[in-house]
Structure 1
Amino acid sequence: MSKPNANPPLSPPAPTSQVPSSVAAPKKKKPYPFWLGGVAATIAASITHPLDLTKVRLQASGDKRMLASMQKTVRTAGVRGLFDGISGTWMRQMSYSMCRFWAYEESKKLLDATSPSAPAWKLGLAGSMAGGIAGLVGNPGEIVMVRLQGDFAKPPEKRFNYKHCFDALFRMVREEGTSSLARGVGPNVFRAVLMNASQLASYDFFKATLLATPYFEDNIYCHFTASFAAGTVATTVCSPADVLKSRIMNASGPGSSSTLATIRTALATEGPLFVFKGWVPAWMRLQPTTILIFLTLEQLKRGVDWTRGKGWDVL
C-alpha cells in the first residue's frame, strides 16, 4: 500500500486582475460658447418679429385686435412695416438674451443644479438670478427695441423717428440724458426675473420630466414639447410686467415713467384686466419664439459637439 503524499501539489494561483496604478479621470466636457443663446434668440426673434411688433403696439396704443393692428401697419407702411425696428430687436437679443443664457448656466453651477434631477426650485432660482442680471444689462436695448417698434403706432408729431438702434441709443443719451437708459428698469428687471424663471427653468424641468418617461428621447420631439409648455407658462406669468414695461418705456416727458402713475391711469380707464392686454399676440409671438430659441439652441449645441468630434476645436 502506497503512502499518501505528505505534500500535495499546490493549486495554481488564482489570476489577479491587472489594475493600473493610476486610472485617468474622464475628461470634463468643455462648456459651450457663452454666445450660443444670444445667436439662437436673435434668429428666433428675427422670424417672429412681426408678431412681437404687433404685441408692443397693442400694449402701447389704442388698437384692440391683433389682425386689425397688423392690417393697419401694412396699410400705412407696407409689408416692410411689419419689420419696423428690427435693428432694435437684434440689439436687445445680443445684449439681454446673450447675458441671460450665460448667467443661467453660471447660476446653475453655483446652485449645483446642472444635473437632470435638479429640483425645480433650484432651476427657478437660477432663472431668477439670471433674469435680474440680464434685465439690468439689457435695459437700454429693451428701450430701443420698444421705441422703434412702437413709433409708427403714434401720431406723427409724437414719434421719435429714430433711423436705427444706434441712432436711438445716441439720441436718447444726447436728448434725454444718460438716466434715460434706465427708464422702466424696475418693471423690466421684474419681467426678466419672471421670464427666465418661467421660460428657461420650466424648459429644463419639462425636458427632464419628459426624458424620465419611456416615450421621449433627447431629440427634436422632446425639445419641441418642452419648449411649447415653457412658452405657455412664460406668457401667462410675464404678461402683467410686460404690459407695464411697454407703456412706461414708450412714454416721454417728465413724470411719465412713474410705474404707479401708469398703473393708476390704466386701472381707471381699462380695469384690472389691462395687465393681460395683448395676451393672445404675446402668446402667439412668445410660443414660436420659445420653440425656435430652444430648437435652434439645441441644434447649435449639436453642431458644436460635431465640430469638436471632428477635431476642429474652434468653438
Structure 2
Amino acid sequence: MASSAEKVAASATPASPIAINGASKAPSSAKKPYPFWLGGVAATIAASITHPLDLTKVRLQASGDKRMVDSIRKTVRTAGVRGLFDGISGTWMRQMSYSMCRFWAYDESKKILGAGKDAPAWKLAAAGSMAGGIAGFVGNPGEIVMVRLQGDFAKPPEQRFNYKHCFDALFRMVKEEGVSSLARGVGPNVFRAVLMNASQLASYDFFKAELLKTKYFEDNIACHFTASFAAGTVATTVCSPADVLKSRIMNASGPGSNSTLAVIRQSMAKEGPMFMFKGWVPAWSRLQPTTILIFLTLEQLKNLVDLSRNSGFTLL
C-alpha cells in the first residue's frame, strides 16, 4: 500500500501549483512574461490623472510664465477648468507609443544583460539606457504632438498651431512640414529618454530590491510607494536639462530655431545656466505622482494578470 501511495503522491505532485519543479507545464506558466502593453496602460492611466501638472510644466518651460501657481491660474482664467486638460489626446498618443515601448524594451534589455532580481545598479542603468534610446526614437512623433498640443494655448493667437486632436496634429505636421518634422528634436528627446529610463526605471528596481532586503518592507504597496517616490526625485533632477531643451526645440516654429545649439545660446544669454532647471518644481510635482502612479498601477496590473492566470484565464 505504501508503494501505491507513493506513486499516487508522485503523480499528483506535478499538478500542484506549489511544486514548480514538477511537470514542465507548471514552471512555463509561472515564468510566462507579462503582456508587453502593460507598462503603456499603466503610464496612460497615470498621465491622465497628472495631466494638468504636466501641462503647466511644459508651459513654464516654453513660455514666459514664471510660477506654477500663476500659470495654472492663467489657464483656468482664460480657458476654464477644462483648459487644464488641453492636449490630453497627445498625452495618450505619447504614452501608448513611448511608454509602452520603453517598458517592453527595458524588460528585454535586462534579459540580454542578465540583470536579474538582485542585479547591480550599473546593469539596471545600462538596461534603462538601452530602453530609453529605443523608446525615445520610436515615441518622438507622439512626444512632439503632446508638447505642441499642451503648449499651444500659451502662445499668442497668431502663433498657435490650432490642432484639433493628436491625429490632426500628426497629419498636418506631415502635410505642412514634411515627414522630417516627425524627427524634430529627436536628439534631445532620445538623450532625455536615456536619462529618464536609466534614472526612473533602474532606480525603482534598485530601491525596491534594497528595501526588500531590510526587515521593514515586504513586496507590497508600501514598498512600491517608497521606491517610486525615490525614483521620481532622482529622475526629475537627472532629466531636467534635457527636458527643458526638448520642450523649447519642439515648440519652436521659426526657420533655424529648432537647432539645439541655437536654443542653448539664446537661453544662456537671456537666463543664464540655471535655465536648464527652469520648471524643476512643477516637473517634480508632475513626475513624482506620475512615477508613483505608474509603478503602483503597474504592480497592481501584474497582480491582476497573475490572478487571472491562476484562475485559468489565459488571454492575459
TM-score range, shorter chain: over 0.9
TM-score by length of 1: 0.92
Please tell me the residue identity of whatever aligns with 1:308. R
Matches within 5 A, 1:75-86: 75-86=77-88
Q: How does 1:68-217 map to 2 (within 5 A)?
A: 68-113=70-115, 115-217=116-218
Question: CA deviation digits over 1:174-232, x for unaligned, max 9?
Answer: 00000000000000000000000000000000000000111100000000000000000
Shift of 1:79: 0.3
Q: What letter matches 1:27 in structure 2?
A: P
Q: How far apart are the structure 1 equivalents of 2:280 and 2:182?
A: 27
Superposition deviation, residue 116 in structure 1: 1.7
Does the residue aligned with 2:253 lie in a helix, a strand or coil?
Answer: coil
CA gap 1:23/1:93 in 2 versus in 1, 3 angstroms: closer
Question: How far, CA to CA, are the matches of 2:254 and 2:36 in structure 1?
Answer: 38
Distance (Å, rounded) in 2 between the aligned partners of 1:95 and 1:143 = 12
Per the alignment, do residues 265 and 212 of structure 1 end up closer, same or farther by CA in structure 2, a change over 3 Å counting? same
> What is the CA-CA distance between 1:52 and the residue it aligns to?
0.1
Name the residue aligned to 1:313: 314
Q: Which amino acid aligns with 1:245?
A: K
In structure 1, what residue type is equivalent to 2:87?
Answer: G
Q: Residues of 2 paired with 1:30 and 1:158: CA distance? A: 51
> Shift in Å at residue 253 of structure 1?
2.5
Q: Give distance in 2, aligned partners of 1:132 and 1:278.
A: 24
Question: 1:117 Cα deviation (Å)?
Answer: 1.2
**Given the alignment of the two structures, is residue 296 of structure 1 paired with residue 290 of structure 2, yes or no?**
no
CA distance in 2, matches of 1:258, 1:24: 60
Give the distance between the partners of 1:312 and 1:69, measured in 2 at CA.
47
Q: Provide the C-alpha distance between the structure 1 equivalents of 2:113 and 2:280, rounded to a whole number of angstroms.
A: 33
Question: Residue in 1 aligned with 2:45?
Answer: 43
Query: Are residues 1:268 and 2:240 paired?
Result: no
Give CA deviations for 1:94-148 in whole Å, capped at 9, x if unaligned: 00000000000000000000x2211111100000000000000000000000000
Gaps of 5+ in 2: 1-5, 11-20
Q: Distance in 2 between matches of 1:145 and 1:67?
A: 22
Partner of 2:35: 33
Classify the secondary structure of the residue corresponding to 1:197.
Answer: helix
State the one-letter code of the partner of 2:89: S
Q: Which structure is larger by alpha-carbon Rg, 1 or 2?
A: 1
The CA distance in 2 between the partners of 1:227 and 1:117, in whole Å, is 17
- Paired residues for 1:193-272 under 5 Å: 193-272=194-273
The 2-side partners of 1:202 and 1:159 are apart by 38
Spell out structure 1 runs of 4+ moving beyond 2 A. Answer: 22-26
Take 2:211 and 2:291, find their aligned partners in 1: how far apart are those partners?
Answer: 17
CA RMSD of aligned residues (A): 1.6
Q: Aligned letter for 1:299?
A: Q
* 1:66 to 2:62 alignment: no
Distance of 2:260 and 2:81 partners within structure 1: 34
Aligned length: 298
Q: Which runs of 5+ in 1 are unaligned?
A: 1-16
Q: Percent identity?
A: 84
Name the SS of the counterpart of 2:27 in structure 1. coil
Which secondary structure does the structure 2 equivalent of 1:27 belong to? Answer: helix
Deviation at 1:23, TM superposition (A): 6.3
Aligned AA for 1:251?
A
Secondary structure at the aligned position of 2:305 is classed as: helix
- Normalising by structure 2, we get a TM-score of 0.92
Partner Cα separation in structure 2 for residue 181 and residue 314 of structure 1: 35
Q: 2: distance between equivalents of 1:254 and 1:79?
A: 34
Counterpart position of 1:8? none
Task: Please name the residue that 1:5 is paired with.
Answer: none
Match of 2:245, SS state, is helix
- Larger % of helix: which? 2
Query: Partner letter of residue 273 of structure 1?
Result: M
2:15 paired residue number:
none
